[in-house]
Copies of this chain bind each other. A is one copy, B any other.
Amino acid sequence: MTDLNKQDVYPSMKISNDRGSEKIEPVKLGQRLKEIRKSFGLTLEEASKKTGLARSTLSKIENEQISPTFQAMQKLTNGLQIDLPQLFAPPKQVSATGRRDITRNNEGKAHPTSTYEHELLATQLTNKKMMPFKSRIRARDFADYSDWIRHAGDEFLLVLSGEITFFSEFYEPVTLNEGDSVYYDANMGHMLISSSEEDALILWVTAS
């Protein structure tokens, strides 16, 4: 195999930035950590017990007097049960106004097709991590589809009413009734049909 490297595959990852050490963006780790600890209602002492780091060390980290080692950070994330991404997470400014979008029943953005009738919810917000839909499933037959549906990301689906049969690439078809749900990798080929008399109503959410 040729020595294909990331630069070939992912042009976006350009390393052309030749400036040795650019200005180090001051990710406010300490501040962030303090927020998290407080949000759990923990004192330094308690956090100390959970993480195995000294009270004093935690204090210094929170006040940005020291730069914790990776080891220390692992103790932090393990002890407090948080993810690293969460810690480094974007400057995360709580927007002054907050993001919120309410969609009333049947007032989403409709996308009807012969097999589905999708209603996109929360259309007012941009940069969402998830895309929620409510759909009416018209398809009654496997043959209503030309091929597996397949796309990036995770998908979660809950049956609101009716009965569907969920087909997927590596599994036997399965019947889902009201209240049943399925979570799957959308890269795996999938499709679904309504398997009762009526159309089925489902809620589904994607995230990538």
Q: Which residues of A are in contact with B by a Cβ distance under 8 Å?
A: 3, 5-7, 13-15, 17-25, 27, 29, 36, 39-42, 49-52, 67-75, 78-86, 88-89, 92, 94-106, 121-122, 125, 128-130, 132, 134, 150-154, 156, 158, 160, 166, 168-171, 174, 176-185, 187-188, 203, 205, 207-208
Contact = CB atoms under 8 A, between A and B. Distances in A.
A188 B99 CA distance: 8
Given A22-B78, A41-B6, A98-B188, A130 B205 contact: yes
B103 A180 contact: yes
A205 B15 contact: no
A125 B17 CA distance: 26
Contacts of A41: 3, 5-7
Given A83-B19, A84-B84, A181-B102, A92 B40 contact: no
Given A74-B24, A151-B39, A178-B105, A158 B132 contact: yes
Q: Which of A17, A171, A176 has the most chain B CB atoms closer than 10 A to its own CB?
A: A17
Nearest to A48: B20
A122 B157 CA distance: 10
A205 B131 CA distance: 11
A188 to B, nearest CB: 4
A51 B20 contact: yes
